Every structure is written in structure tokens, then in C-alpha cells.
């Protein structure tokens, strides 16, 4: 039985005037249809002439039934990390660029949001990754990622050295610009740009994509989503490698640090319009070919 949404949380892309305008429009639409809306505090401060109830983003998931994110995939990634532990589903309205995770265009807000609130929607579970940085046996930093955890050189264009272990089994020692540890959700993001394959969102798998490895034999790998990974930061690095979660939160490592990555216990629920199709999204966003015209197979004599 599908969930009935009554109280709706609204999160807008920070610093975007278009997103703020769309949030105001959406707020008025929900209000006119009898729904209560709660904004996150940063969004509320960016929308002029709108007196609405608001709470901080980390608390939003606890007081609403559904969160609608207005922005790009980056905005939805931040919202996902904030609400995941509350089990609150997310729906995305695209005010960014590519928008693999934000399904609804601004022109379709009233029609598509109304359909979702009337029960015409699909739900999809996506898993996240948890990351710990361990130094001298103690956890010094933690992070969560819906797309990816990335080891990279930071501001310096220098190769870094590290060791990779999967389920405590040594895989390789590598010199490269780093490595992307990606979920299926993130396979359409940085991992795709790095030469990794697309993964269907329903796969229980983790993708490992080396970044510019100093070898001709290193290739992306797909491993079980149940695996636990460890990266050991090498002692001969001339730069201090950074660890980044979804390109937003990061920590600077030191030689000998251990980075542990595994699947997060709580999953995220994404809400899609009833006509959602992952492959159609790929065709539209990535410029894949559509149907081949039937007359293309006709001979020149016909």
C-alpha cells in the first residue's frame, strides 16, 4: 500500500534565484491543495516574502512525510545524506544541469507533483556508502555518500600511492590520481566520466574506478555491494590525499591512514513519477540513439 503524504518538506538549491522562485511556487501550490509545507532553514532564508515553518535540514526528515528537492543532483545528494536515517522519501525537481536524480521539470510541477500526492508514483531504494578515516586506531572522520567516495590529491596535481583491500584481501598497490568508489547511483556521475560502466540502480554492487593510473593494465572493477573496502594511504606521498563524499564533504589524510568504506545500513527511498524509466533517462540525458527507423533496413532497390 502506497504511503499518503500529508506534510511536505521543501529544500531548494542554495544560491539559486530560479530554485527559490520554484520553491515559492511549489509552496503556494501545496498550500492551495491543503498540504502543510516545512522548509529547511537555508531555503526559507532565500525565499523572499514567504513566511513558512522551517527547521534545519538535519531535522527536516523527522517532521515531514516527503521531501521535495528543487535543484540539481548535488542538491538531492545533500538532502539524501540529511534525511536517510529518518527513512523519509525524496522527490526531485530539476533546477540544475544534467539531473539524473531529479525527475520533474519546472514546467511539469503542478501536474507531476499532484499525481505523486494522489498516489501515482513509483518508489526505488538506493543504498549509500559509509566512510571512516582511521588514524592510529581511532576514527578521526566519518562521512556518507549516495554517489561516491573519492580518494584524490586535493589541490595539487600529483600522483598518490595507496593500497586497496577488499574484504581484508589485498587487491593492489597503485600510483594514480586516486580512486572512485561508486554506488550504482553514482555510476552516472564522476565514475562515468572516469571511464567506469553504467550500473542499473537495482544492482547490489560497488564500482571501483582508478583515476589516471600509472599503468596500462588497471581497469575499473565491479564488486559485491556487501564488500568492505580499505584504502591504506602510502607513506611516500608528497601530497596529503583528500577523501571526498559526493564531492561535498572532505577530509585530508596523512600517510598510514586507513580509509574504510562499506554499505550504509539505512537505505534511501527515491520517489519517481509513475512513468519513470531508467533507460529512457539514459537516452535523454546521455544522448543515446532512439529507435532505428524501420525503413533504414530497406534495400536501395525498394
Give residue 136's region: left, alpha or beta (phi > 0; psi -120 to 50): left
Q: Residue 302: its pLDDT value, please? A: 43
Q: Residue 299: its pLDDT value, please? A: 46
CA-atom Rg of the chain in angstroms: 21
Same domain, 175 and 245: yes
Q: Residue 49: its pLDDT value, please? A: 79
Distance between CA 298 and CA 150 in Å, rounded?
49
What is the count of structural domains for the chain? 2
The reply, when asked if residue 283 is annotated as ligand binding, is: no
**Domain span holding position 90:** 7-127+267-286
Q: Which residue has the higher pLDDT, 299 or 39?
A: 39
Same domain, 77 and 184: no
Matching residue, cell 543504498: 127
The reply, when asked if residue 40 is annotated as ligand binding, is: no
CATH number at residue 251: 2.60.200.30
Same domain, 165 and 114: no
Same domain, 95 and 149: no
Q: Is residue 293 part of a domain?
A: no
Residue 292 binned pLDDT confidence (cut-offs 50, 70, 90): low
> What sign results for the dihedral spanned by CA atoms 54, 56, 57, 63?
negative
Residue 2 binned pLDDT confidence (cut-offs 50, 70, 90): confident
Contact 201, 278 (CB under 8 A): yes
Residue 296 binned pLDDT confidence (cut-offs 50, 70, 90): low
Percentage above 70 pLDDT, the chain: 95
The reply, when asked if residue 25 is annotated as ligand binding, is: no
For residue 121, give the C-alpha cell.
508514483
| Annotated catalytic residue 301 | no
Same domain, 25 and 60: yes
User: Which of the residues 73, 103, 246, 257 is marked catalytic?
Assistant: 73
Q: Residue 237: its pLDDT value, please? A: 77
Q: Residue 295: its pLDDT value, please? A: 60
The reply, when asked if residue 75 is annotated as ligand binding, is: no
The reply, when asked if residue 279 is annotated as ligand binding, is: no
CATH number at residue 282: 3.40.50.10330
The reply, when asked if residue 188 is annotated as ligand binding, is: yes
What is the rounded average pLDDT of the residues 56-68? Answer: 96
Listed in order, strand segments (DSSP E) in 118-267 are 121-126, 129-135, 138-145, 148-152, 160-166, 169-176, 179-182, 205-210, 221-224, 229-233, 242-245, 249-252, 258-263
Segment holding 127, helix H or strand E: none
Is the model's pLDDT at 140 over the cut of 60? yes
The reply, when asked if residue 126 is annotated as ligand binding, is: no
Same domain, 143 and 74: no
Least confident of 30-44, 90-104, 141-155: 90-104
What is the rounded average pLDDT of the residues 107-129? Answer: 95
The one-character DSSP state at 197 is P
Distance between CA 258 and CA 134 in Å, rounded?
5
Tell me the per-residue pLDDT of 64-114, one tens digit each, with 9 for 90 and over.
Answer: 999 999 999 999 999 999 999 999 999 999 987 767 888 898 889 999 999
The reply, when asked if residue 42 is annotated as ligand binding, is: no
Tell me the pLDDT of the chain averaged across its residues: 92
Residue 291 binned pLDDT confidence (cut-offs 50, 70, 90): confident
For residue 104, CA distances in Å to 90, 116, 142, 272 come to 12, 11, 32, 9
Same domain, 178 and 245: yes
What is the rounded average pLDDT of the residues 220-243? Answer: 93
For residue 235, give the C-alpha cell.
607513506
Q: Is residue 184 part of a domain?
A: yes
Amino acid at each position: 500500500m502506497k504511503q499518503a503524504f500529508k506534510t511536505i518538506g521543501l529544500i531548494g538549491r542554495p544560491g539559486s534565484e530560479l530554485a527559490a522562485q520554484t520553491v515559492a511556487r511549489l509552496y503556494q501550490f501545496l498550500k492551495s491543495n491543503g498540504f502543510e509545507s516545512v522548509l529547511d532553514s537555508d531555503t526559507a532564508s532565500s525565499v523572499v516574502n514567504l513566511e513558512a515553518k522551517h527547521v534545519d535540514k538535519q531535522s527536516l526528515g523527522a517532521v515531514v512525510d516527503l521531501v521535495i528537492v528543487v535543484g540539481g543532483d548535488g542538491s538531492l545528494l545533500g538532502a539524501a545524506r540529511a534525511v536517510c536515517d529518518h527513512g523519509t522519501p525524496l522527490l526531485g525537481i530539476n533546477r540544475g544541469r544534467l539531473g539524473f536524480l531529479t525527475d520533474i521539470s519546472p514546467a511539469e510541477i503542478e501536474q507531476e507533483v499532484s499525481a505523486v500526492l494522489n498516489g501515482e508514483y513509483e518508489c526505488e531504494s538506493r543504498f549509500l556508502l559509509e566512510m571512516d578515516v582511521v588514524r592510529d586506531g581511532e576514527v578521526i572522520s566519518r562521512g556518507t555518500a549516495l554517489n561516491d567516495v573519492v580518494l584524490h590529491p586535493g589541490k595539487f596535481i600529483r600522483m598518490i600511492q595507496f593500497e586497496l583491500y577488499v574484504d581484508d584481501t589485498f587487491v593492489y598497490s597503485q600510483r594514480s590520481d586516486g580512486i572512485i568508489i561508486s554506488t550504482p547511483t553514482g555510476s552516472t556521475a564522476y565514475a562515468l566520466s572516469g571511464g567506469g560502466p553504467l550500473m542499473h540502480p537495482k544492482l547490489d554492487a560497488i564500482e571501483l574506478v582508478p583515476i589516471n593510473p600509472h599503468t596500462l593494465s588497471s581497469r575499473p572493477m565491479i564488486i559485491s555491494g556487501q564488500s568492505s573496502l580499505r584504502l591504506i594511504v602510502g607513506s611516500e606521498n608528497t601530497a596529503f590525499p583528500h577523501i571526498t563524499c559526493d564531492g561535498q564533504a572532505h577530509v585530508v589524510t596523512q600517510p598510514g591512514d586507513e580509509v574504510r568504506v562499506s554499505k550504509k545500513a539505512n537505505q534511501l527511498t527515491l520517489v519517481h513519477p509513475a512513468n519513470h524509466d531508467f533507460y529512457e533517462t539514459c537516452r535523454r540525458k546521455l544522448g543515446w540513439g532512439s529507435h532505428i527507423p524501420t525503413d533504414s533496413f530497406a534495400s536501395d532497390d525498394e
